[in-house]
Amino acid sequence: MSPKVFYFPQIPPRSPYYNLATEEAIAVKLVSEGITAGVRLWKNPDSIILGLSENPFRNIKEEVVTRYETVARTEGFQKKPKPNFCYIARRASGGGTVFHSLTGNINYSLYFNLEERKELFPVKDSYEILLGIVAKSLEKQNIRSTPKGKSDLVLEKDGIFKKISGNAQFRKRGCIVQHGTLILEETLIERVAEVLHHPPEEPDYRKERSHKDFLTSLPDFFSESIWAKDLLREVFSYLGEESPEDFSNISFFGPDFSTFRKHVLQESESIRKKKYQNPEYTLHREIPT
């Protein structure tokens, strides 16, 4: 029996709370729906995304937190992005605090059923395997990235390593999710410095470098559309399966995943309202009962 693999392509912009709730809901429902793996590509509007245990008051500049809290407690949030605003959200995975924008980076999520891929149980092994999938997909465009630190991908130039991708993981109900970001534009790095302090903890290879000196973007010739197909092909290669000719046949929005999609969207609505867009969760990691 061939594995069930879905592809969740980019959709029109949504708030980070919609995106993060959708991501967790997919993980919650994946194993019970008999799905082997999935790939999701997505973007956030201007957003600061905290790791699960991160303290926003240590990581984010005070004026950004103040504006977020004022809007969160007086206006609330809709699914569609709020213009001229920097969101703050807390994700399900650990790791550091990052900045996202619609033009500055692209996010990817890799989902695998741990009951079927037991080699992904050990954390170190899973990072090695899944970072390898991403690195191989970039290499198809002659971009040679190297794993560094716990879960980064870097480019090397003249013996200096600069980060292009940070990754983190979480596990829910037998599903492992590895999500990461690829920096597309140097302008994103300028915004990082505007809204975030120097991180309280850093990998050894950073060597106290500023955001500007530590981060870099992918080359101008990088194509998102080509990379999306290459990433999917690498996932199928890892699974030992032949890649489909037409990835629209495995779309999350197609008929083969209608029941799964219905359950995911129901779950994500509940999670989004109760958890992700609640300022108590974002700022203090508290979820009302």
- Mean pLDDT of all residues in 269-287: 93
Mean pLDDT in residue range 222-227 = 98
Can you give the pTM of this predicted structure?
Answer: 0.95
Q: Could you identify the residue written with the tokens 């101008």?
A: 220
Amino acid at the residue 4 = K
Residue 277: C-alpha distances to residues 39, 65, 69, 141, 283 (Å) = 24, 14, 11, 37, 11
Whether domain 5-284 has CATH 3.40.50.620:
no
Alpha helices in 112-257 (DSSP H): 123-139, 186-195, 211-214, 224-239
pLDDT > 70 fraction of the chain, expressed in percent and rounded: 99
Q: What is the mean pLDDT of residues 186-199?
A: 93
In which band, very low, low, confident or very high, does the pLDDT at 68 lie, cut at 50, 70 and 90?
A: very high
Q: Which of 29-43, 44-58, 149-163, 270-284 has the lowest mean pLDDT?
A: 149-163
Render pLDDT for 116-129 as a digit per residue (tens, 0 to 9). Answer: 999 999 999 999 99
Tell whether the model's pLDDT for residue 287 goes beyond 90. no
SS3 (DSSP) at 39 = strand
For the segment 27-52, the average pLDDT, to the nearest whole number, is 98
pLDDT confidence of residue 288: 64
Q: Which two tokens stand for residue 184?
A: 């597309």
Band (pLDDT 50/70/90 cuts) for residue 200 is confident
pLDDT averaged over the chain? 95
Q: Give the pLDDT score at 137.
A: 98
Q: What is the pLDDT of residues 240-275, one digit of tens each?
A: 999 999 999 999 999 999 999 999 999 999 999 999
pLDDT reported for residue 289: 57
More confident residue, 202 or 112: 112
Mean per-residue pLDDT, 3-7? 92
Domain ranges of the chain: 5-284
- 15, 99, 208, 210, 257 from 187: Cα distances, Å: 21, 12, 21, 15, 37
Indicate if the pLDDT at residue 1 is higher than 60.
no
Question: What are the start-end ranges of the H helices in 31-141?
Answer: 56-59, 62-74, 123-139
Identify whether the C-beta of residue 56 lies closer than 8 Å to the C-beta of residue 87: no
* DSSP β-ladder status, 146-148 and 152-157: antiparallel
How many angstroms separate the Cα of 77 from the Cα of each of 15, 51, 239?
8, 21, 39
Residue 233: how many other CB atoms lie within 10 Å: 18
Q: For residues 203 and 220, which has the higher predicted lDDT (pLDDT)?
A: 220
| Residues 159-171, mean pLDDT to the nearest whole number | 95
Q: C-alpha 108: how far from its chain's center?
A: 5
Least confident of 143-152, 201-210, 244-253: 201-210
